[in-house]
Structure 1
């Protein structure tokens, strides 16, 4: 495996921003933008480590819910159409709740922890 890995590169940039740059930033606007960048790096790292497994969970659960095979994005479109048509299959609410949990695992795991 080539080194550094993508995750290691993202981690190094995050550490630089957090430990070297952020403490020296006095401008509130730049401080906020640095925090946004740190958050984006965190999301990218979580997507890198969890994204495929979470997408597979969505695909598997959607397939079972709808009785169809396909990519998660396509199956979510089918489910959305069925919901709009008033034809939501049994188990839709449970799936959507689990789907949101999976999304929050990547986007904002701290938020998820507060509301479980």
Structure 2
């Protein structure tokens, strides 16, 4: 495998921004933008590491919940439609909690530590 790989490149970029650039930035607006960029790099790294597995896990749960297969996005739309129609399957609440957990694993796993 060629090195550095994508995750290593993202990690090196984040480390440079955090260790070298962030301490030197005095402008509050630029500092905020740098923190946003660091957060985006973290999301990208987690998406790279976990994204596909989480999407597959969710697709399997949706198929079980709705009792048929299909594209994950289409299944999510169907579930939303059923909820709006008052026809949510019995295990919808548990699925939605897991759905939010998966989203937080990518977006900001620290929330899961604070609110288990």
Aligned to 1:111: 111
After superposition, where does 1:31-46 map in structure 2 within 5 Å? 31-46=31-46
Structure 1: where are the runs of 5+ without partners?
A: none
Q: What SS is found at the alignment partner of 1:51?
A: helix
Q: Distance in 2 between matches of 1:72 and 1:107?
A: 19
Deviation of residue 71 (structure 1)? 2.1
Aligned to 2:83: 83
**65-74 vs 97-106, greater mean Cα deviation:** 65-74
After superposition, where does 1:1-116 map in structure 2 within 5 Å? 1-116=1-116
Q: Distance in 2 between matches of 1:108 and 1:72?
A: 22
Q: What SS is found at the alignment partner of 2:70?
A: coil
Structure 2: where are the runs of 5+ without partners?
A: none
When normalised by structure 1's length, the TM-score is 0.97
Q: Distance in 2 between matches of 1:14 and 1:71?
A: 34
When normalised by structure 2's length, the TM-score is 0.97
The CA RMSD over aligned residues, in Å, is 0.7
Q: What SS is found at the alignment partner of 2:68?
A: coil
